[in-house]
Amino acid sequence: MLRTIAAALLLLATPLFAQTNNVNARIDRILHDVPLIDGHNDLPWQYWERAKDHLAQIDIRQDQSKLTPPLHTDIPRLKQGHVGAEFWSVYVPTTLKGADAVRSVLEQIDVVDRIDERYPDTFELARTADDVMRIHRSGKIASMIGIEGGHSIGNSLAVLRQLYNLGARYMTITHSDNNDFADSATADPLHNGLTPFGKQVIAEMNRLGMLVDCSHIAPKTMNDILDVTQAPVIFSHSSARALTDHARNVPDDVLRRLKDHDGVVMLTWVPTFVSEKARARDAAKDAEETRLKALYRGQPDKVKAVLGQWDTANPAPRATVQDVADHIEHVVQVAGTEHAGLGTDLDGITSTPEGLESVAAFPTLFAELIRRGWTDAQLEGLAGLNVLRVMRKVEATAARLQKERPPSDLRIEE
């Protein structure tokens, strides 16, 4: 009798087991052929925050998920997630200005270089789309550099050029604050978008072959850039504003223009960007903190204690893999399949969607999209082919512009 029941249960489970195996095999095949490109990972800044850039103190050959707080990125989980290329964010706080910001971004680039040197069997610096494909075919992960925040150039086109020479292949035009030539999404408008010098920054990025990254900027700045750029742009880590009304997300009118310019939105995993419930709770906490600071002036310990009680009484809702998939599908619906990519912001966030806890989780997201009926061609585009297309167009535009004009010697004060 027991053998009969066991046999029946096995028979019932077999189709599901076979289906799961088929999905896994399909994902393995796709990500073997196409490099999965993650548009934004903040591991370099984690080395600064946790170890003041002493790389030997955190060995990413080992699983680092047990650190407090855990890292989202290490070599075993990168391989588990079939990651083919990472844009490492070289992040500089907006509190740093001028020469201090330039020094900090150079130190962050040095961290990326030393990661590549420390783990040469895993990482290799990529400067072009062809490099990404070659490195992926060799079995290694293409290591790329993305500048997070235009203040990092110290208002100097010469610095911009030298950062490009060091391997930087995109730059977000702002970070969380306005800079001297562009408005951020998360600060009160100062310039009404892009200044005349800001337009020269975009022109020089086009001439260099550096991707213009529109994450972090205000919608007016987005539109100003789309008005002047001669090459496609990217959003390295943003989501859809129609689904989650966060200032960092992309409005539908910009998504439609992005399609016309052949750009790509690399959809992020930031919980407050992909879940309206998470965003609303985060805003409520900010409001409560402001209220408590006004109520208990000069009593930071009291504010901290009472805010902790509020936290306990109002647990944060978890975003989900389904939320992320919804944002991907919205971008596809408005802009088209060819204009979606992936940019997690892992190790730049303190919490993650349920099911997407680390770089190992990309197959989980792909399985959800397969469940929704995505084709291999759509998944290949999302994984990396869409971004590679944009990179090649940016490279081709640069080759043309370099024949037409020399480097700009304009200064911001002129």
Catalytically active residues are 40, 42, 148, 175, 216, 237, 345
Q: Give ∠ CA 155-156-158 in degrees, rounded to 5.
A: 165
Cβ-contact 45, 347 below 8 angstroms: yes
d(CA 118, CA 114): 6
d(CA 261, CA 114): 36
d(CA 50, CA 56): 12
Torsion of CA 56, 113, 72, 54, to 10 degrees: 30
- Other CB atoms within a 10 A radius of the CB of residue 351 amount to 15
Mapped onto helix, strand or coil, the DSSP state of residue 308 is: helix
d(CA 321, CA 344): 12
d(CA 171, CA 156): 14
Query: Which two three-digit tokens encode residue 265?
Result: 């939105």
- Other CB atoms within a 10 A radius of the CB of residue 101 amount to 23
Query: Which two three-digit tokens encode residue 154?
Result: 């110290």
Number of alpha carbons in the 13 Å side-chain half-sphere of residue 116: 20
Q: Is the peptide bond before 251 cis (omega within 30 degrees of 0)?
A: no
Cβ-contact 46, 53 below 8 angstroms: no
Query: Which two three-digit tokens encode residue 395?
Result: 């490279």
Q: How far is CA 172 from CA 3, 37, 47, 167, in A?
A: 62, 17, 21, 15
d(CA 177, CA 183): 7
Closest listed residue to residue 389, CA positions, set 333, 327, 330, 341: 341
CA end-to-end distance (rounded Å), the chain: 89
